[in-house]
Structure 1
Amino acid sequence: MPGLTVKLRSLFFKYHLKQQLQRLSEPQFDRSKSDTFGITSRPEEPLVPANPVFQDGVATKDIHVDPCSALSLRIFLPDSVSGSKNSMADYDAGAVYRGYSPLPMGKRYRKLPVMLQFHGGMFVSGSNESAANDAFCRRMAKLCDVIVVAVGYRLAPESRYPAAFEDGLKVLNWLAKQANLASLRSVRNVDVNGRIYDDFGASTAEPWLAAHGDTSRCVLLGVSSGANIADFVAWKAVEAGKLLDPVKVVARVLLYPFFIGSIPTKSEIKLANSYFYDKALCMLAWKLFLPEKEFNLDHPAANPLSHGRKPSLKYMIPTLMVVAEHDWMRDRAIAYSEELRKVNVDAPVLDYKDAVHEFATLDVLLQTPKAQACAEDIAIWVKKYISLRGHEFSY
């Protein structure tokens, strides 16, 4: 069983979460309306600023990629991009990473896989800039040796379904555009400051991704409700096929996905009052996320095994499922993995004993060794699919 500290923190967490959900259910958040611009964090969310200085081996920066919405990204760049064993030796102590403007032509750039990360929060809270998510993404960037792009999708009820899912797909398409812009790197497509632009001068490439991103090795990682978004984005990537080139989604990791269905599973009955996120609170969140006319626990956004989903499961990319012993959502995630394995998709399950929902991403709060162990286990599996393809350096 979880320790006393976890139990006490769970009680306080649930109390504040209930207050938040009740506030979001008040008349000013009229569910008949939707804010297309939206918000990506709540005032009570503890946020940490981006820091382009390599701190504990990772530099970060925020970018706003859609002028028509609040959609934003935080990029996590590990210092291993220098390609040296002592990476920090390549930069002055405390200096801002010069990748804000790519290195001059002829210099070597170490290419790293790109991981798109979608945070949790039941679609109504959380942020890609929160202290917990920032710490988790830093950990994944270092352990997996990848560039993590954390997606700040729009939250409900201000922007209900399908806003968050559309944001996930928009970022995937944005990544494809970035890869195409980076391929334009030539004398006529680089200005005096090293910025890469298209032939019309309307778009410039994001320099960290242009210099170091290898989009042919793209991984999706979703946490709780973010796992639902990662599931949707994966299906869209499969549907797009070569139309998404040069982006290739090679694997995905779903951490304790926020799945549900009309017919309850054993864990949904037995663990309905589980730690941090119990079923009653999550039901409130689903009512805030799904439009009233579309509210259905077998909605494709909620139940991955609902009838009529296309394409077939057999075309799905390799999927690592992470579940926790004391999480009421565990059975449905396990069932999803079982269905994937039936059609020969690599879909192992990592089941952590004495763990609770979001145990690996609430590490700032819980401070458990399981969080570090989980991140290491994820890195081992992910590296099977992001092993080096072709040349590690581009010129």
Structure 2
Amino acid sequence: MESIEGSNMRHIVLEAPTFLQVYNDGSIEYLANMPRVPPSLCDPATSVSSKDILFSINPLLFARLYLPNNNHQKLPILIYFHGSAFCCESAFAQHHHAYCNIIASQANVLILSVEYRKAPHHYLPAAYNDAWVALQWVASHANDTNHHVINEPWLTNHGDFSKIFIGGDSSGGNIVHNLAMRAGVEPLPNGLKLYGAYMNHPYFHGLKPVEPEPNEGLEQSFLNMAWGVVYPPDGIESPMMNPLAPGAPSLASLGCSKLFISVAGDDRVLRDRAVLYYEALRGSGWKGQVELFEEKGEKHVYHMFHPHTPNAKKLINHLTHFLTQQ
């Protein structure tokens, strides 16, 4: 009797440690969500204006748009994807909002920060598909006669459609890779092309160990458990999580002309796989330009939570240069 009663007690059936726990009654406890903040017509620290928009009806998708004060000329467009293991956080979270204000102000870019759908309510590839919808929607604004979309005047009035960037941190960096790969083989509206992309501390993994990962226990690792929450039908060797897996599409088809990758020296889990990705891209036959930046002695996404430290400012300066150089 005790064992029967015990089996009916509320317990965890699935989890991404430090991010969320799913219980047998269907409830979900989020462990990593930061407070959300509203947009602002003039951010007091950066003078950047922001507003929340609907950009897709089916599926229903929202985003936050950022417009810098210095907008007298056409601005490069950055489509941004936040991190948090595909299952937590929001484009409207306090730290992501502050980060986008800083990037919009310093790089003088128009930013669309996408509120993509998240697991376990929406398993991957939902987030990848939402990213593609966002990119298509932005590109559709390049033609003034295109009236079938949800039109956004900030894009049509201020956007430079010859310079469309995509960028993301952690799992957002993973989304950037998958989106750039798709853009390399599928056309965008109005014949537009991605100009550039960046990945800060991108979220890649695989079953074959990479130093300093252990030779045993990878299947029980945090990243493998987290992947089981966000995409149960496919294993960790999916090309979406491991771009270097056997049978993965060639990186030569990456659909942008330049790429910036950053890593943190003390990011034990993700640093080395990002470096391998950089080296594989250089040897793939891809015709673009790629830059790798590393900050020694820093941990994963240090710049997101402490953007005003000297090392965070250094990374943001490198990113600003990447977004503004010709």
Query: TM over 0.5: same fold?
Result: yes
1:61: how far off? Answer: 0.3
Out of 109, 113, 116, the residue aligned to residue 146 of structure 1 is: 109
Q: Deviations over 1:15-74 (max 9, x none)?
A: xx846522x3544169xxxxxxxxxx9995301101123542200000122223452110
Given that 2:262 and 2:294 are in contact with CA atoms closer than 8 Å, whether structure 1 keeps it comes out as: yes
Q: Deviations over 1:321-353 (max 9, x none)?
A: 100011121111111111111235422210111
Match of 1:168 in 2: 131
Distance in 2, matches of 1:156 and 1:239, equals 26
Distance in 1, matches of 2:251 and 2:134, equals 24
User: What is the identity, as a one-letter code, of the residue corresponding to 2:171?
Assistant: S
SS in 2 for 1:261: coil
Match of 2:306 in 1: 363
Q: Deviations over 1:107-148 (max 9, x none)?
A: xxx210100100000011111111110111111111211101
User: What is the identity, as a one-letter code, of the residue corresponding to 1:264?
Assistant: P
Out of 180, 196, 202, the residue aligned to residue 257 of structure 1 is: 202
Q: Deviations over 1:132-183 (max 9, x none)?
A: 1011111111121110110111111110111011000010111122222xx2
Distance in 2, matches of 1:226 and 1:68, equals 22
Match of 1:268 in 2: 213
Q: Which has the greater radius of gyration? A: 1
Match of 1:304 in 2: 243
Distance in 2, matches of 1:340 and 1:376, equals 24
Match of 1:233 in 2: 179
Where structure 1 has 5 or more consecutive residues not aligned to the other structure, the ranges are 1-16, 31-40, 84-109, 185-196, 273-278, 388-395
Out of 262, 274, 280, the residue aligned to residue 322 of structure 1 is: 262
1:372: how far off? Answer: 1.5
Distance in 1, matches of 2:298 and 2:290, equals 21
Instruction: Evaluate the alpha carbon distance shift between residue 217 and residue 311 of structure 1 in structure 2; reply closer, same or farther with a 3 A threshold.
Output: same
User: What is the identity, as a one-letter code, of the residue corresponding to 2:320?
Assistant: A
Given that 2:80 and 2:112 are in contact with CA atoms closer than 8 Å, whether structure 1 keeps it comes out as: yes
Instruction: Evaluate the alpha carbon distance shift between residue 29 and residue 158 of structure 1 in structure 2; reply closer, same or farther with a 3 A threshold.
Output: farther
1:259: how far off? Answer: 0.3
SS in 2 for 1:381: helix
Distance in 2, matches of 1:258 and 1:312, equals 16
1:280: how far off? Answer: 3.7
Instruction: Evaluate the alpha carbon distance shift between residue 383 and residue 69 of structure 1 in structure 2; reply closer, same or farther with a 3 A threshold.
Output: same
User: What is the identity, as a one-letter code, of the residue corresponding to 1:233?
Assistant: L
Given that 1:52 and 1:60 are in contact with CA atoms closer than 8 Å, whether structure 2 keeps it comes out as: yes
User: What is the identity, as a one-letter code, of the residue corresponding to 1:359?
Assistant: Y
Given that 2:251 and 2:281 are in contact with CA atoms closer than 8 Å, whether structure 1 keeps it comes out as: no
User: What is the identity, as a one-letter code, of the residue corresponding to 2:281?
Assistant: L
Instruction: Evaluate the alpha carbon distance shift between residue 174 and residue 329 of structure 1 in structure 2; reply closer, same or farther with a 3 A threshold.
Output: same
Instruction: Evaluate the alpha carbon distance shift between residue 67 and residue 355 of structure 1 in structure 2; reply closer, same or farther with a 3 A threshold.
Output: same
Residues 48-127 of structure 1: matches in 2 within 5 Å?
48-53=37-42, 55=44, 56-81=46-71, 83=72, 110-127=73-90
User: What is the identity, as a one-letter code, of the residue corresponding to 1:28?
Assistant: G
Where structure 2 has 5 or more consecutive residues not aligned to the other structure, the ranges are 1-15
Distance in 2, matches of 1:25 and 1:312, equals 39
Instruction: Evaluate the alpha carbon distance shift between residue 307 and residue 280 of structure 1 in structure 2; reply closer, same or farther with a 3 A threshold.
Output: closer
Distance in 2, matches of 1:304 and 1:356, equals 23
Distance in 2, matches of 1:43 and 1:305, equals 29
Match of 1:94 in 2: none
SS in 2 for 1:269: coil
Normalized per residue, the structure richer in strand is: 2
Distance in 2, matches of 1:130 and 1:164, equals 17
Out of 149, 153, 156, the residue aligned to residue 210 of structure 1 is: 156
1:308: how far off? Answer: 2.9
Normalized per residue, the structure richer in helix is: 1
Distance in 2, matches of 1:204 and 1:19, equals 37
Q: Which has the higher contact order (CA 8 A, sep 6+)?
A: 1
User: What is the identity, as a one-letter code, of the residue corresponding to 1:369?
Assistant: P
Instruction: Evaluate the alpha carbon distance shift between residue 27 and residue 346 of structure 1 in structure 2; reply closer, same or farther with a 3 A threshold.
Output: farther
SS in 2 for 1:76: strand
Q: Deviations over 1:168-208 (max 9, x none)?
A: 0010111122222xx23xxxxxxxxxxxx72xxx5452011
